Amino acid sequence: MPERAVVFVDGNNWYHGLRDLGFTNLGWFNYAKVSAKLISSPREWVATRYYVGQVQQRGDLSLYAEQRRYMAWLTGRDARITVHYGRLEDRPTKDRAALKLRRYLAALPVKINPKLYRDLSAIAALSKVMVTVEKAVDVMLAVDMVSMAIRNEYDVAYLLAADGDYTPAAETVRGIGKKVIAAAPRAGAQLAAKVDTYMRLKKDWFKSCFGP
């Protein structure tokens, strides 16, 4: 019997890796083609599971529409591709330079030009800004990869990520007796040390992975 292979995709990790290589039109990036290219005979491609933070219907709705459009297109390429959503959360972050300027203005021993003071204070007020962060995606992927190995749903896991946070999951899956092959456009030294094979994919590798 051929080995059964399941592909686990960290969508955000691969998105930024592909952007680093210079790819921009990722709305046509086809994970069915990626999966077929990675999994060679005699292994059998069973499924590809794509994990990503879900854009909410608020603010700029074009981002929500763009994500839904791509997911519909992606899952329409092959019935074996499924999408699994984590969360996107707004978190405050601090600009260290602006924070330092704020403290400097508060401690000034002499008065300065009022307009200049107001302008500098406005810049200092930017010390707190909101950023959107992805939550639960890597945990969900890792839990699914381990639980599916325990249930004997695959023989080989193809982990499409370069994140060292996946090393405990990779070690656990290998301890169960399954193989783990990681692949990414980026280097991942920590993960590479804990999987059976790590594939650092160059730009030319992806040229046949776009379009229907």
Over residues 86-117, the pLDDT tens digits come to 876 565 666 677 777 777 777 887 788 888 88
| Adjacent-strand bridge partners of 51 | 10, 84
**Which among 113, 129, 145 is the end of a domain?**
129
Angstrom distances, CA of residue 53 to CA of 83, 85, 120, 136: 10, 5, 37, 8
- Render 159-170 in DSSP notation, one character per residue: EE---GGGHHHH
**φ and ψ at 54, to 5 degrees?**
-90, 125
| Predicted pLDDT of residue 202 | 96
> Do 155 and 170 have their domain in common?
yes
Per-residue pLDDT, 101: 75
Together in a domain, 141 and 202: yes
CA distance 151 to 173: 11
- Are residues 43 and 112 both part of a single domain? no
Residues 156 and 171 in one domain: yes
Same domain for 50 and 25?
yes
Structural domain of 108: 94-129
Q: What is the pLDDT of residue 106?
A: 79
Looking at the structure, do residues 163 and 121 belong to the same domain, yes or no? Answer: no
Residues of the chain where predicted confidence (pLDDT) is lower than 70: 88-95, 126-134
Q: Pick from 129, 153, 188: which residue ends a domain? A: 129
**Domain tally for the chain?**
2
Neighbouring residues of 55: CB distance < 8 A, sequence distance ≥ 6:
63, 64, 66, 67, 88
Q: Across-strand partners of 199?
A: 183
Same domain, 194 and 154: yes
Same domain, 36 and 107: no
> Looking at the domain assignment, is residue 211 inside a domain?
no
Whether residue 48 is found in the same domain as residue 153: yes
Task: With respect to residue 212, please indicate whether it lies within any of the assigned structural domains.
Answer: no
Please check whether residue 191 lies inside any domain of the structure: yes
Q: Are residues 107 and 8 located together in one domain of the fold?
A: no
Q: Which residues are within 8 A (CB) of 26 and not within 5 positions of it... i.e. 6 or more apart?
A: 15, 18, 19
